[in-house]
Amino acid sequence: MPIEIANRSPGIRPDPGALRRLVGGVLRAHGQPGRDLTLVLADDALLRHLNARFRGVDRATDVLSFEPAPGPGEPAPGEIYVSMQRVAAQARRYRVSPQRELARLLVHGALHLLGYDHLRPADRARMRARERELLAALGPAAAALFTARDR
């Protein structure tokens, strides 16, 4: 599966195989199992920079997805950026494990690449419902996101 992982978050070592299984499961569930994708695990500073540059919002965010325009005859690769600082903070806030929060954000980012959005209430409800379905179905993949020493 052509899912590349770039870990720019020092001290955090999620299991690359588990990351690929989780996001690959989302892609398979939507009929796109061989899709090229890059996951970037980063910090608030990078997500703030990207959020300001591409969305005009000068603040950090938890996850951003980018769908570059493909060239003629090329498949469209996508990128999902996740702030590992937001993962830790939101896991504490929502009283879930960091694995669960990272899984939620990866599913959320992948759904954006698959055309889901949450600008309107009906779209938000549809996206949230799909996130819940996928997280329930992919639960074992989410539980294995971090290596044993990082748990």
Who's near 83: CB < 8 A, 6+ residues apart?
A: 42, 43, 44, 46, 47, 60, 61, 62, 63
Q: For residue 144, what pLDDT is reported? A: 61
Structural domain contains residue 151? no
Q: How many domains does the chain have?
A: 1
Does the pTM exceed 0.85?
Answer: yes
**Per-residue pLDDT tens digits for 91-144:** 999 998 888 899 999 999 999 999 999 999 999 999 999 999 998 888 766 656
**Per-residue pLDDT tens digits for 75-105:** 557 899 999 999 999 999 999 888 889 999 9
**Per-residue pLDDT tens digits for 55-69:** 999 999 999 999 866
- Rounded-to-integer distance, Cα 151 and Cα 13, Å: 10
Torsion sign, CA atoms 148, 63, 126, 68:
negative
- Are 117 and 82 a contacting pair, CB within 8 Å? no
Cross-strand bridge partners of residue 41: 7, 82
Structural domain contains residue 84? yes
What residue numbers bound the domain in which 58 lies? 3-142
Structural domain contains residue 150? no
Torsion sign, CA atoms 6, 98, 88, 10:
negative
